[in-house]
Amino acid sequence: MKGWALITGASEGLGQEFARLAAAEGHDVILSARQTAKLEALAQTLRADFGVAVLCLPADLSKPGAAETLWQSAEQAGCISVLVNNAGLGRNGAFADPEGWAREAESIEVNIRAAALLMKRAAVAMAASDGGRILNVASAAGFMPGPNMAVYHATKAFLLSLSEAAAVELRGTGVSVTALCPGATETNFFAADGQHRSTILTRMPMGKPDTVARAGWAAMKAGRAVCVTGVQNKLAVLLVRLSPRWITAVATGAFLKRRS
Ligand SMILES: NC(=O)c1ccc[n+]([C@@H]2O[C@H](COP(=O)([O-])OP(=O)(O)OC[C@H]3O[C@@H](n4cnc5c(N)ncnc54)[C@H](OP(=O)(O)O)[C@@H]3O)[C@@H](O)[C@H]2O)c1
């Protein structure tokens, strides 16, 4: 039995791609996000194309208790063998701008608290049953401080570190944890933040969501702890490892600066 794949942030971008990959491999799929109509439309396509069962569990993961409720509802469907912690958001702008806090706080709740809670519940349940796989969608941003997108980079550093630590702890239990670290990717991510003018969007080649998702899915199945996608992002991460943190921060900040 393949078990259920629970995918958060399944209404858009990378989440839709993960849902297709899971269904193509015969997993029954649980889709979660806030945009119910988009989840239902994707569910219909997956049922028709792959003949799997699909359940939609809408949730706003920034709300207190929402991640716990989602996990409990998902578990009622049956054994969850794959968790893709994909829902996430960011804010581009100066940290000292008081206007930004609402979105920054939402990103902390979704990218950190909800992801960590779902990961913990999944790790416990999977270790006590037939094992399973957890794919956390972090970011290349997790390797570097990001002035002008400071909170987002910090949330992804948290998820990357947590994933690497849990991957070691869970060795031998049948549960793998993989942190997927893409660079800028062609999804709704930047538009959702009203972000059209940072240098990263005009100078950096963007990854394709299907390519990025496939790389992450393959790394998850191989049980790899970390997967950085794209040659350019691998090079950037290598450079970051070799450079003083302050130089990385200054350079990253220049890329993330909004252009007028
Ligand atoms: N695109 C990039 O350049 C890039 C690069 C590196 C990493 N990532 C990471 O990849 C993941 C997927 O992002 P994407 O690129 O596919 O962006 P996207 O197209 O904006 O999709 C984000 C997904 O997260 C969901 N989401 C946002 N806020 C939520 C909330 N409060 N509660 C529940 N779900 C919420 C959205 O669903 P609803 O709006 O329906 O709730 C949507 O399905 C994120 O974790 C992101 O940080 C993206």
Which pLDDT score, from 0 to 100, does residue 184 have?
94
* Model confidence band, residue 242 (pLDDT cutoffs 50, 70, 90): very high
- Two tokens, residue 2: 């393949």
Domains within the chain, CATH numbers bracketed: 4-256 (3.40.50.720)
Which pLDDT score, from 0 to 100, does residue 205 have?
82
**Dihedral (CA of 118, 124, 129, 132) sign:** positive
Which pLDDT score, from 0 to 100, does residue 1 have?
56
Give the ligand 1 atom nearest the CA of 63. Answer: 31
Which pLDDT score, from 0 to 100, does residue 192 have?
86
Which pLDDT score, from 0 to 100, does residue 16 have?
98
* Model confidence band, residue 17 (pLDDT cutoffs 50, 70, 90): very high
Nearest CA to ligand 1 atom 46: 88
Residue 150 has pLDDT above 90, yes or no: yes
pLDDT of 68-113, one tens digit each?
999 999 999 999 999 999 999 999 999 999 889 999 999 999 999 9
Which pLDDT score, from 0 to 100, does residue 89 have?
97
| Ligand 1 center–CA 56 separation, angstroms | 17
Name the residue of 21, 113, 189 whose CB sits within 8 Å of the most ligand 1 atoms, as the mutation to test its pocket. 189
| Ligand 1 center–CA 15 separation, angstroms | 8
Q: For residue 66, count other CB atoms closer than 10 A to its CB.
A: 20
| Ligand 1 center–CA 26 separation, angstroms | 24
* Residue 152 annotated to the active site: yes
Residue 260 has pLDDT above 70, yes or no: no
Give the ligand 1 atom nearest the CA of 192. Answer: 20
Name the residue of 12, 30, 63, 104 whose CB sits within 8 Å of the most ligand 1 atoms, as the mutation to test its pocket. 12
Tell me the C-alpha distance between 247 and 229, whole Å.
23
Which residues lie with the beta carbon below 6 Å from any ligand 1 atom? Answer: 9, 11-15, 33-35, 59-62, 86-89, 106, 110, 137, 139, 182, 184-185, 187-189, 192
Tell me the C-alpha distance between 10 and 13, whole Å.
8
Nearest CA to ligand 1 atom 17: 189
Which pLDDT score, from 0 to 100, does residue 258 have?
73
Q: Which of 4, 50, 152, 158 is catalytic?
A: 152
pLDDT of 182-218, one tens digit each?
999 999 998 888 766 566 666 778 999 999 999 999 9
